[in-house]
């Protein structure tokens, strides 16, 4: 390989990395909408949780953890039959106070993303 070919090869690799890096929104799951929303005050005792992402996800390899006001964590059973880009769960017997939903999602490209939604249950 002559010097110029090497430079072109390196340039091509750099361009490929740059193009991959420029479109993470099509690859990693990013939360686009949720019920509840961040910082929302909701009213119990029951609530339908719905998290929508920007791409298809593998719901069977995704997790939803509810952290209650006393800091107790409960893994939520996910409801089946929803759209391919959403996670759903039903919350019951909510008390007043500050809750946090921790989500961990596997997108179809094999990447895991995580995030938190804090919300309050009012009366
Ligand atoms: Cu990805």
Over residues 9-45, the pLDDT tens digits come to 656 555 555 555 555 445 799 999 999 999 999 998 9
Ligand 1 centre and the CA of 30: distance in Å? 10
Mean pLDDT of 57-82: 95
Distance 52 CA to ligand 1 centre (A): 16
Res 81: pLDDT:
85
Sheet holding 63-67, edge to edge: 41-43, 112-122, 97-106, 63-67, 73-75
What's the chain's average pLDDT? 87
Distance 21 CA to ligand 1 centre (A): 10
Sign, Cα dihedral of 12, 23, 114, 98: positive
Residues 6+ apart with CB under 8 A from 56: 84, 85, 107, 108
Residue 79 CA, ligand 1 centroid: distance in Å: 24
| pLDDT for res 123 | 77
Query: Could you count the other beta carbons within 10 Å of the beta carbon of residue 29?
Result: 28
Q: What whole-number distance in Å separates Cα of residue 59 and Cα of residue 107?
A: 9
Can you tell me which residue has the tokens 């961040």? 38
Using the mean position of ligand 1's atoms as its centre, give its distance from the Cα of residue 29 in Å: 7
């Amino acid at each position: 390989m002559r010097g110029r070919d090497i430079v072109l090869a390196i340039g091509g690799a750099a361009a490929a990395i740059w193009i991959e890096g420029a479109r993470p929104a099509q690859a990693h799951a990013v939360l686009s909408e949720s019920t509840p929303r961040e910082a929302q005050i909701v009213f119990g005792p029951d609530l339908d949780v719905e998290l929508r992402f920007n791409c298809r996800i593998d719901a069977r390899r995704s997790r939803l953890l509810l952290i209650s006001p006393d800091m107790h964590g409960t893994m939520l059973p996910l409801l089946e039959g929803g759209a391919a880009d959403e996670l759903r769960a039903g919350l019951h017997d909510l008390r007043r106070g500050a809750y946090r939903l921790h989500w961990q999602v596997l997108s179809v490209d094999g990447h895991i993303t995580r995030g938190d939604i804090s919300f309050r249950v009012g009366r």
